């Protein structure tokens, strides 16, 4: 208990609006984010899918899917040997990824909550399509 006698409360730091928009439009899952940040951590290194899979504790085909999605989104590229490299397609995208990396490093819970809330909303929309209604009986 704090010295003042008041109970300890953890305050949630909001995710900056520009980072929030980038997450909601460009980061479909936490594994996508982790793969992106792994490539970004050493922007000069190339990674094969097996290395990424081991680092993220996922299987090789999942890693390949994540990395291919990053290439498709213009956040990564392919090295000559078929490995993947950090290669944002524009300075604006590089700036957005940098802001996301800083926010994630200081507010992991806020960023992951935002990503998960997006996933939950998508799942709920999908589930709603199968919801039984009185008229649908």
pLDDT (0 to 100) of residue 43: 87
Question: Which residue, chain included where needed, has tokens 């290395």?
Answer: 51
CATH 1.10.10.10 fits 17-127, yes or no: yes
Once rounded to an integer, what is the mean pLDDT over residues 96-119? 92
Tens of pLDDT, residues 40-84 = 998 889 999 999 999 999 999 999 999 999 999 999 999 988 899
Domain coordinates in residue numbering, the chain: 17-127
CB 56 within 8 A of CB 31: yes
Buried b or exposed e, range 17-41, using 16+ CB within 10 angstroms: eebbebbeebbbebbbbbbbebbbe
User: Which residue spans within the chain are E strands per DSSP?
Assistant: 76-78, 84-86
């Amino acid at each position: 208990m704090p010295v003042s006698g008041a109970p300890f409360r953890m305050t949630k730091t909001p995710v900056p609006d520009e980072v929030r928009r980038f997450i909601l439009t460009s980061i479909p899952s936490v594994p996508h984010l982790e793969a992106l940040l792994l490539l970004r951590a050493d922007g000069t290194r190339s990674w094969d899918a097996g290395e990424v899979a081991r680092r993220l504790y996922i299987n090789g085909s999942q890693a390949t899917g994540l990395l291919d999605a990053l290439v498709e989104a213009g956040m990564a590229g392919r090295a000559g040997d078929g490995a993947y490299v950090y290669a944002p397609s524009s300075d604006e995208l590089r700036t957005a990824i940098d802001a996301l990396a800083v926010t994630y490093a200081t507010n992991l819970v806020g960023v992951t909550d935002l990503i998960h809330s997006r996933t939950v909303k998508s799942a709920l929309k999908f589930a709603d399509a199968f919801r039984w209604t009185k008229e649908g009986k």
